[in-house]
């Protein structure tokens, strides 16, 4: 049981790290385009990613 739990937690941690990397890429791309109006779009995108994970 302990081994299964550690595997599950490690998979969750990897998914969270992937989400963070995705959001970082979105942030840089949106900042390059335009700063103020695109920040709202970034927040919506990250919310959708969180729900999928």
| pLDDT (tens digit per residue) in 1-53 | 455 566 666 666 666 666 666 666 666 666 665 555 555 555 556 665 566 55
Q: Where are the domains of the chain?
A: 2-52
SS3 34: coil
Whole-number pLDDT of residue 53:
54
Whole-number pLDDT of residue 9:
64
Q: What is the pTM of this model?
A: 0.25
Ordered DSSP codes for the chain? -HHHHHHHHHHHHHHHHHHHHHHHHHHHHHHHH-SHHHHHHHHHHHHHHHHH-
Rounding to the nearest 10 degrees, give the CA dihedral for residues 50, 28, 31, 52. Answer: -10
Whole-number pLDDT of residue 1:
46
């Amino acid at each position: 049981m302990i081994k299964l739990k550690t595997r599950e937690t490690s998979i969750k941690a990897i998914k969270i790290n992937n989400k963070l990397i995705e959001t970082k890429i979105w942030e840089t791309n949106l900042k390059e385009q335009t700063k103020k109006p695109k920040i709202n779009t970034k927040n919506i995108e990250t919310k959708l990613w969180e729900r999928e994970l």
